[in-house]
């Protein structure tokens, strides 16, 4: 009987022990399940917060602050910092919450001068730049692999400060990656319950870092699109202003036929032309090329265009007009900008054309020689580009040149986009080709001349990607039969 009782008691004890063990395991399983559920909720809430933030078009500073706060709330950490990758493959702290420790030893002077710890950390955060591979932050950025440091006291990669509030007990550092592109590093330190970070904490931080990187990438894309829209709007406005300045019709003359062809390489161009009605039935014709492209060139073009019209009415001499224009434009231009320009005044009554050239391509005069042959001859004139040299030097060099311009003769102005058009062999169209083509078009009206030249350029260029502004202005003295 006694052995039976002893066996029964032993069985009961064993059953009770197994019951306790099973209950403990069930509790652990339940705690683990609750922990996983909690982490899922934290991750989902984090994703929701990031999506909500993006829907409100936050600033970068606001988004970084939201990320930090969400990471601290989710992990129970005391501090968090985001280091952003900047130029030169360096890392710079851009957002911090809590007393996140600097990544380099602090001097006593810095500690004494700081009014508050938070002020000190913010100053250091914005001034400190970490090289790739430097410390734990640089290591994670370089390897692109996250690091869990459960116990950080004796880890040589961690800078420990004398100030107890800046001591690092435990740390998680993970890269911010999007599409294998490093955006920065996320670092979390010191759980608030004196425990060490676990692998589950690390998994949670990695998940948050992935979502944070996606949010930052989307914000960058959003900002890029906004900037592009602003730029497109600016370009559209500049193009509209430019189109208003360029003449679409020309003076009604019984003596002259005029046509212009203008094809900008971008929405706005640095090229411009103008045809100006002058007293005594004279006509002014100008063409210019502003260095550079885009909005700066178009704005400079607008100023030059307006000033040219003013001085053309005030002075008969083209050279004097350019002297006045150079004085005005030199004050408006940056040192790296200049304008080449030709301004010609046609006097049908005197059968002459007088021009001054400020460093621009030589215009072509199509006329008969003394032996009756037609020739497309460059018209030379001394002069330097506007804004290139001091006014006294410019004024001394610039000069007028007067040539006969009789019935049946033609005159062609063009920008360097014509002669410098290149083909797939990197060969330029050249002024020689232009002269020969212009000569062959001696019987054609200006509109046909410009169209033939443009088609020749397109054929010569072929599939070449070379693109430049192209502007042509053709003028023809009507023959006696057509007048």
What pLDDT, in 10s, does the model give residues 55-71? 455 678 888 888 888 88
The predicted structure's pLDDT at residue 372: 83
User: Residues 352, 262: one domain?
Assistant: yes
Q: Is 189 within the bounds of a domain?
A: yes
Where residue 250 falls among pLDDT bands split at 50, 70, 90? confident
With 0-12 CB in 10 A as exposed, 13-18 as middle and 19+ as buried, what is 249? exposed
Q: Is the pLDDT of residue 309 over 90?
A: yes
User: Residues 304, 422: one domain?
Assistant: yes
The predicted structure's pLDDT at residue 118: 67
The predicted structure's pLDDT at residue 356: 97
Domain with 87, as residue range(s), is 35-221
Question: 31-40, 340-349, 366-375: lowest mean pLDDT where?
Answer: 31-40
User: Residues 379, 256: one domain?
Assistant: yes
User: Residues 171, 245: one domain?
Assistant: no
Where residue 48 falls among pLDDT bands split at 50, 70, 90? very low
Question: What pTM, to 2 d.p., does this model score?
Answer: 0.60
Please report, for the domain that includes residue 130, its CATH number.
3.30.450.40
Q: Is the pLDDT of residue 47 over 60?
A: no
The predicted structure's pLDDT at residue 327: 94
Longest dimension (CA), the chain: 149
Q: Is the pLDDT of residue 25 over 60?
A: no
Task: Give the orientation angle of helix 2-55 with respect to helix 60-75, to 10 degrees.
Answer: 170
The predicted structure's pLDDT at residue 55: 47
User: Residues 183, 275: one domain?
Assistant: no
Q: What is the mean pLDDT of residues 331-335?
A: 82
User: Residues 217, 245: one domain?
Assistant: no
Scanning the structure block, which residue is given the tokens 């004494």? Answer: 112
d(Cα 337, Cα 385) in Å, to the nearest integer?
10
| C-beta of residue 352 within 8 angstroms of C-beta of residue 318 | no
* Count of Cβ atoms closer than 10 Å to residue 78 Cβ: 17
* Count of Cβ atoms closer than 10 Å to residue 120 Cβ: 20
Q: Is 104 within the bounds of a domain?
A: yes
Q: What is the mean pLDDT of residues 272-289?
A: 94
Please report, for the domain that includes residue 337, its CATH number.
3.60.40.10
The predicted structure's pLDDT at residue 311: 96
Positive or negative, the CA dihedral 287, 289, 293, 295 is negative
Which DSSP string do the residues of 431-465 spell out, in sequence order?
Answer: HHHHHHHHHHTTTS-HHHHHHHHHHHHHHHHTT--
The number of distinct structural domains making up the chain is 2
| C-beta of residue 352 within 8 angstroms of C-beta of residue 403 | yes
Task: Provide, for the chain, the percentages of residues in helix, strand and coil under a 3-state DSSP scheme, each rounded to the nearest 5.
Answer: 45, 25, 30
């Amino acid at each position: 009987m006694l052995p039976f009782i002893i066996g029964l008691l032993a069985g009961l004890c064993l059953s009770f022990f197994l019951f306790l063990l099973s209950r403990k395991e069930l509790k652990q399983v339940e705690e683990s399940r609750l922990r996983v559920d909690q982490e899922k909720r934290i991750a989902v809430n984090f994703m929701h917060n990031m999506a909500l933030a993006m829907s409100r078009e936050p600033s970068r500073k606001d988004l970084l602050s939201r990320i930090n706060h969400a990471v601290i709330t989710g992990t129970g950490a005391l501090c968090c910092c985001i280091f952003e990758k900047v130029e030169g493959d360096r890392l710079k702290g851009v957002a911090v919450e809590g007393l996140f420790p600097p990544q380099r030893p602090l001097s006593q002077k810095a500690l004494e001068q700081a009014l508050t710890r938070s002020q000190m950390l913010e100053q250091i955060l914005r001034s400190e730049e970490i090289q790739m591979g430097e410390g734990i932050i640089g290591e994670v950025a370089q390897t692109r692999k996250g690091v869990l440091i459960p116990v950080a006291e004796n880890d040589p990669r961690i800078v420990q400060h004398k100030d107890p509030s800046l001591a690092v007990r435990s740390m998680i550092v993970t890269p911010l990656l999007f599409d294998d592109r490093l955006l920065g590093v996320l670092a979390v330190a010191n759980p608030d319950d004196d425990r060490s970070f676990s692998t589950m904490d690390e998994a949670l931080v990695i998940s948050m870092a992935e979502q944070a990187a996606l949010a930052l990438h989307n914000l960058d894309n959003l900002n890029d699109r906004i900037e592009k829209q602003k730029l497109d709007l600016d370009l559209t406005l500049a193009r509209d202003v430019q189109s208003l300045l360029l003449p679409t019709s020309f003076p009604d003359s019984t003596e002259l036929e005029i046509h212009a062809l203008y094809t900008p390489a971008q929405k706005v161009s640095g090229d411009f032309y103008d045809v100006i009605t002058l007293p005594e039935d004279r006509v002014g014709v100008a063409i210019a090329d502003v260095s550079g492209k885009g909005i700066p060139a178009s704005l400079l073009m607008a100023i030059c265009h307006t000033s040219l019209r003013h001085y053309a009415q005030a002075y008969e001499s083209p050279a004097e007009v350019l002297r006045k224009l150079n004085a005005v434009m030199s004050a408006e231009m940056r040192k790296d900008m200049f304008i080449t320009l030709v301004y010609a005044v046609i006097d049908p009554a005197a059968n002459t054309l007088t021009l001054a050239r400020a460093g621009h391509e030589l215009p072509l005069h199509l006329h008969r020689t003394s032996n009756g042959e037609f020739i497309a001859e460059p018209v030379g004139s001394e002069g330097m580009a506007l804004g290139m040299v001091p006014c006294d030097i410019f004024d001394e060099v610039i000069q007028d040149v007067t040539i006969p311009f009789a019935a049946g003769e033609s005159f062609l102005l063009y920008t360097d986009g014509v002669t410098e058009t290149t083909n797939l062999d990197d060969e330029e169209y050249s002024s020689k080709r232009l002269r020969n083509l212009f000569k062959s078009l001696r019987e054609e009206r200006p509109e046909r001349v410009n169209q033939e030249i443009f088609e020749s350029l397109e054929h010569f260029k072929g599939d070449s990607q070379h693109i430049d502004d192209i502007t042509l202005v053709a003028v023809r003295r009507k023959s006696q039969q057509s007048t």
